[in-house]
Amino acid sequence: MKVGVIYGGMSTEHDVSMMSGKNVLENLDKKKYDIIPIYIDKNGKWYINNKEIKNIVDKLKEMDVIFPVLHGLYGEDGTIQGMLELLKIPYVGCDIISSSMCMDKVYTKCVLQKANIKQAKYIYIKNENTYVNEEFEEMKLENDEIVKLVEEKLQFPVFVKPSNSGSSVGVTKASNGPELIKAIEEASIYDKKVLVEEAIVGKEVECAVLGNDNPKASTVGEILSAEEFYSYDAKYNNAESKTRIPAQISEEKIEEIRRTAVKAFKAMDCKGLARVDFFVKNDTNEVYINEINTMPGFTEISMYPKLWGYMGLEYSELLDELINLAIERSR
């Protein structure tokens, strides 16, 4: 079977995708697959075996299945999935609609709210100074009005995030009005849609989901961030950040998170794989969903493969299963 592994890409997560792609390429079974590394540089040029390819469509059509190890925009947002659907090539992971919805934090919240899955309260800001309410009515506000709105609806501190971004790129914690306005400006560099979210003080935990129509959930892992929150630097540049598998929470709470992860996976119509992230609030022990990652990291330190490794599914076996699920869905 000819497997094309696409990595790199034009998003802010290019470097993370490079690490993930390298690990996938190293762990695919070379006895089972003819493995073709396909690299996209930051400018959108395509390369196969270090040679730039002008007509990538003909090359992609030679593949039996594609593993798009791309994080963020143009890879995890339905873009590459749409291209592969048009070319009728089976591919690993979620389809166009679930990829695009999960990538957009605002629309993820809308769907999960309908599914009655508990999540942090939030405010949606568009183009830096336009508040969008729950009925999607838009109101232009001055900076002091945005600060007042946050104080009334959420209270400080809050987290400010680009709606379409991953690996915590552009995410800032704001504890007062000036910090809030600065954080919104920072997040707006990455996306015109910005999420302002109440801060949940508690454990950060993650659950891996695998499957198509009958998905299964792994155990739950815990993030032990070396910084105040699990920022990009804390994830990839700070060796003091650790993970704990299983999470140091009760067995009942682990089962609740596993059930909720599968429910969220189905609500967003995910296929193949996703990592579902949660908070367990310190004072109430309540579980809040944070976000869903449709192409989670596959680096050596990434939670998704480590969670399945704990469950007895080794890295190369996990890749086999993901390829099988891609073929199954295409049929």
| Mean pLDDT value across residues 220-244 | 69
Q: Is residue 97 part of a domain?
A: no
Give rounded-to-5 percent helix, strand, coil for the chain: 35, 30, 40
Give percent of the chain with pLDDT exceeding 90: 85
- CATH code for the domain of 281: 3.30.470.20
| Mean pLDDT value across residues 243-258 | 96
* For residue 33, pLDDT beyond 60: yes
* For residue 322, pLDDT beyond 80: yes
| Mean pLDDT value across residues 276-284 | 96
Q: How many residues does the chain have?
A: 331
Residues 301 and 163 reside in one and the same domain: no
Residue 237: per-residue pLDDT: 52
Among 170, 198, 226, the domain boundary falls at: 198
Q: Place 209 in a pLDDT band, splitting at 50, 70 and 90.
A: very high
Give percent of the chain with pLDDT exceeding 70: 95
Q: Is residue 251 part of a domain?
A: yes
Q: Is residue 127 part of a domain?
A: yes
Q: b/e per residue, 129-157, with b = 16+ CB within 10 A?
A: bbbbeeeeeeeebeeeebbebbeeebebe
For residue range 126-138, what is the model confidence (pLDDT) as tens digits? 987 899 998 899 9
| Mean pLDDT value across residues 79-103 | 97
Rounded-to-integer distance, Cα 111 and Cα 116, Å: 9
| Mean pLDDT value across residues 69-84 | 94
Strands 193-198 and 242-244, how do they pair? unpaired
Residues 112 and 255 reside in one and the same domain: yes
280 vs 240, residue with greater confidence:
280
Residue 170: per-residue pLDDT: 83
Residues 279 and 148 reside in one and the same domain: no
Rounded-to-integer distance, Cα 33 and Cα 55, Å: 23
Dihedral (CA of 91, 95, 98, 104) sign: positive
Q: What tokens were used for 129?
A: 């100074």
Residues 87 and 157 reside in one and the same domain: no
Among 198, 231, 263, the domain boundary falls at: 198
Distances (CA, A) of 231 to 45, 182, 235, 241, 293: 29, 17, 6, 10, 15
Q: What is the pTM of this model?
A: 0.91
- CATH code for the domain of 187: 3.30.1490.20
215: nearest Cα among 133, 329, 130, 291: 329
Domain with 263 in it? 102-117+201-330
Residues 322 and 209 reside in one and the same domain: yes
